[in-house]
Amino acid sequence: MTTSPAVSFEFFPPKSEEMEKRLWDCVQRLTPVRPQFVSVTYGAGGSTRERTHSIVRQLAQDRGLPAAGHITCVAATRGEIDEVLKGYWDAGVRRIVALRGDPVSGIGSRYEPHPGGYAYASDLIAGARRIGHFDISVGCYPEIHPEASSLAEEIDNLKRKIDAGANRAITQFFFDPSVYLRFLDGVRKAGVNVPIIPGIMLQSNFKGLRRMAAMCGASIPERIASLYEGLDEDPETRDLVTAHIAADLCNRLAEQGVAEFHFYTMNRPGLSLSTCRLLGVRSQGESI
């Protein structure tokens, strides 16, 4: 890779005091990398909504980071979501990640829109556009969303979100470059020309990774699974393997012209920093 890529990071809101310390350590260590933006997720069913909002405001106001709050349609009225959006705008937060969200009853159950809420991400995006000129990211699934019947349906869903006003899409994680490239080709043929940023998973616990993949429909190639064999009690080696897998995937995509990556950090700065270094991304003040 001759030119280092642009990067962004996803954090999740902490559930305990110890996890909060870990989050802010992660933020402190990754800030010098100068990410394009950082995002903060919601818990299932919007369960961490207030913590997410608080962290996003702190990232933007206290840390000076380009912070994006995840906002979902689940378990909230339009009025409640609009208040969150107005609060972000008034706090100087100009980025959001607009998502439909998982069913309140859990992944695998039937999604039922809130009777007084935004039904789908495209509706949420249109609502956000009425409130402020947000920079809006959305999600997409190169291996298709578990509820989609085909790649064509997945691309149609993405196109609706872009037509509603989204600026870019961030993919669900994947491990095979051809999965992303095939999806990108279909997206471009459908007339969608916004950036499609690969989402790169940095989960070194293979049992956890396999569980997450099953929930979102991502496949784990056998060559990847085999690298974790025998490492259940060896977290240091797992971390090395994970950074290698992520950097190799990014480098292979970069060879095809991809210049930006979004890292699912799991609030673990070491893995993100290791991967960035392997890609030639340095902290501010460092030279390659």
Enzyme catalytic residues: 10
**Cβ neighbour number for residue 67 with a 10 Å cutoff:** 27
Paired tokens of 172: 């669900």
Residue with tokens 């509820």: 147
Are residues 125 and 137 in contact, defined by beta-carbon separation less than 8 angstroms? no
**Cβ neighbour number for residue 72 with a 10 Å cutoff:** 25
Are residues 119 and 91 in contact, defined by beta-carbon separation less than 8 angstroms? no
DSSP 5: P
Please report, for residues 10, 102, 121, 175, the alpha-carbon distance to residue 253 in angstroms, rounded to integers and kept in the order given.
Answer: 20, 29, 28, 11
Phi, psi of 280 (to 5 degrees): 85, 10
Paired tokens of 112: 């039922």
Cα-based torsion angle of the residue sequence 139, 267, 247, 4 in order, rounded to the nearest 10 degrees:
80
Residue with tokens 């491990």: 175
